[in-house]
């Protein structure tokens, strides 16, 4: 069977990567609006209603406008929205299948919100620990996330790649979202069950893609003062049997290189690696994945496969 797919926002970073990952799939026909008709809402509506799957790779307002073009009574076309517009909307299913029960919800939903990249790393680590009672919901969570510049989209990619030698202020990693109101915070709070959003410091580095999302924990503030072994066991149990999430050996005996944890080792895959470091006084959780893979287009393809009843890993490298 061949499924019709329309990528609304095909020329953006996520749209291009989705298109690339679909190339060569005999079971997918990508519908393409002629360039001179791309801004015609009537034409867009026609393509949306012809498709089995519509990927929304657009700003939030434009995503909402595209959803509104679905014809009344159309229960066949399914949306996968890569924007932040619907991630905490109760009428949409959050597209992180590794969470309990979420795979079945994705399978049966017409509206799926693809997770944010920073949020993916945070939720994968924190949600199981809150669910298990290891981390209280009101624990004062903090998170630092280092990402490659491709996460900033075409404009940031151009800043890094089209001006020759980088200016001094772009040669080092740079913290941003200093107003502490990053757009991923609502889903980071809602999908973990946390009572409060974390203090979140995203950092962009002078490399194209790859991601490290770290969350520190203090055992003395946790019930029973659990050590890293308890945390590692809980994460291992939560993701047992998952193909796209791998809990690495405790303490980093695998995946750490000469005492360093590079951000790029999962690039061009849909794999997320979870690390637990620490001792009786301090614990550090780190998620490593490709911000353009499990953090964006790869996650979107994984959700599409589930929604269409295909093998979940079709077209994805692990």
Q: Which domains does the chain carry?
A: 3-115+296-308 (3.40.50.720), 117-291 (3.30.360.10)
- Provide the pLDDT confidence category of residue 304 given band limits of 50, 70 and 90: very high
What is the structure's pLDDT at 294? 98
What is the structure's pLDDT at 145? 98
Catalytic residue, chosen from 117, 143, 244, 303, is 117
Question: For residue range 165-207, what is the model confidence (pLDDT) as tens digits?
Answer: 899 999 999 999 999 999 999 999 999 999 999 999 999 999 9
What is the structure's pLDDT at 1? 86
- Provide the pLDDT confidence category of residue 164 given band limits of 50, 70 and 90: confident
Question: For residue range 25-46, what is the model confidence (pLDDT) as tens digits?
Answer: 999 999 999 989 988 999 999 9
Let me know if 266 is a catalytic residue.
no
Strands across the sheet with 28-31, in order?
28-31, 3-8, 53-56, 78-81, 111-113, 93-94
What is the structure's pLDDT at 125? 98
Counting beta carbons within 10 angstroms of the beta carbon of residue 118, is it exposed (0 to 12), middle (13 to 18) or buried (19 or more)? buried
Question: For residue range 90-117, what is the model confidence (pLDDT) as tens digits?
Answer: 999 999 999 999 999 999 999 999 999 9
Does pLDDT of 133 surpass 80? yes
Does pLDDT of 55 surpass 90? yes
What is the structure's pLDDT at 173? 97
On average, the pLDDT of the chain sits at 97
Polymer length of the chain? 318
Mean pLDDT calculated for residue range 241-247? 98
């Amino acid at each position: 069977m061949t499924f019709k797919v329309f990528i609304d926002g095909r020329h953006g970073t996520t749209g291009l990567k989705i298109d690339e990952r679909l190339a060569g799939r005999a079971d997918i026909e990508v519908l393409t609006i002629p360039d001179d008709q791309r801004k015609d809402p009537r034409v867009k509506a026609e393509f949306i209603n012809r498709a089995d799957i519509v990927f929304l790779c657009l700003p939030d307002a434009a995503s909402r406008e595209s959803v509104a073009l679905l014809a009344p009574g159309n229960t066949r076309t399914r949306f996968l929205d890569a924007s932040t517009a619907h991630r905490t909307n109760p009428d949409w299913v959050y597209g992180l299948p590794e969470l309990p029960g979420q795979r079945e919800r994705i399978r049966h939903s017409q509206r799926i919100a693809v997770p944010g990249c920073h949020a993916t790393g945070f939720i994968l680590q924190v949600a199981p620990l809150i669910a298990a009672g290891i981390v209280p919901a009101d624990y004062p969570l903090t998170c630092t996330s280092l990402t490659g510049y491709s996460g900033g989209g075409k404009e940031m990619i151009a800043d890094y790649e089209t001006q020759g030698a980088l200016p001094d202020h772009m040669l080092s990693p740079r913290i941003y979202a200093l107003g502490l109101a990053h757009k991923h915070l609502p889903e980071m709070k809602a999908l973990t069950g946390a009572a409060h959003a974390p203090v979140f410091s995203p950092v962009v580095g002078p490399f194209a893609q790859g991601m490290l999302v770290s969350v520190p924990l203090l055992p003395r503030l946790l019930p029973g003062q659990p050590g890293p072994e308890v945390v590692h066991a809980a994460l291992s149990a939560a993701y047992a049997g998952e193909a796209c999430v791998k809990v690495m050996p405790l303490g980093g005996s695998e995946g750490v290189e000469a005492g360093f944890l590079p951000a790029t080792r999962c690039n061009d895959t849909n794999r997320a690696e979870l690390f637990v470091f620490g001792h009786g006084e301090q614990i550090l959780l780190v998620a490593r994945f490709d911000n353009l893979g499990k953090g964006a287009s790869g996650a979107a393809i994984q959700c599409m496969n589930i929604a269409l009843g295909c093998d979940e890993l079709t077209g994805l490298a692990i």
